[in-house]
Amino acid sequence: MFNDIGPLELVTLIVLAVLVFGPDKLPKVIQDVTRTIRKIRDFSESAKQDIRQELGPEFKDFEFEDLNPKTFIRKQLDNDDLGLKEIRNGFDLKKEMAEVADAVHGRDSDSSSSSSSSSSSGSSGGRVDMTKKPESRAADARPPFDADAT
């Protein structure tokens, strides 16, 4: 519950509580707070049990912690029914980004140069050569104005 409170912050809270409530009333306040926390936990557990009973036997293994998105995703990634590990292992993001960067800069990468040398029909294997200018436009002519694009 208090995982993110450090020792210095805890000491500061204790000193602040002593100053606000006084040393004679502090034990009573601590008892009241702990009693309230226990009641809230009991209420929460009884509500969880009621929900489990209402859902029926098909949701017997349902855990409320699974409603946390991080826990749900972690649990689904550990469960390999979807085949996500094969997808993750088959996709090399660094290689793909390097190929895109090479295509933008007009360089030949290792994998695309072999595919472009094998195709002699004029197309470069799906790559666009950014260094060539289109023949349809003159060198100093402006592109057409598109009012919807701006």
Concatenate the DSSP letters of all residues of 70-119 into one string.
HHHHHHHHH-GGG-HHHHHHH--HHHHHHHHHHHHHTPPPHHHHHHHHH-
| CB burial string 33-59: b at 16+ within 10 A, e below | eeeeeeeeeeeeeeeeeeeeeeeeeee
For residue 4, the model assigns a pLDDT of 80
For residue 60, the model assigns a pLDDT of 75
For residue 129, the model assigns a pLDDT of 56
Domain edges within the chain: 7-62
Which residue positions in the chain have pLDDT lower than 50? 111-125
For residue 37, the model assigns a pLDDT of 96
User: 55-93, pLDDT tens digit by residue?
Assistant: 888 877 778 777 788 887 777 776 655 566 667 677 777
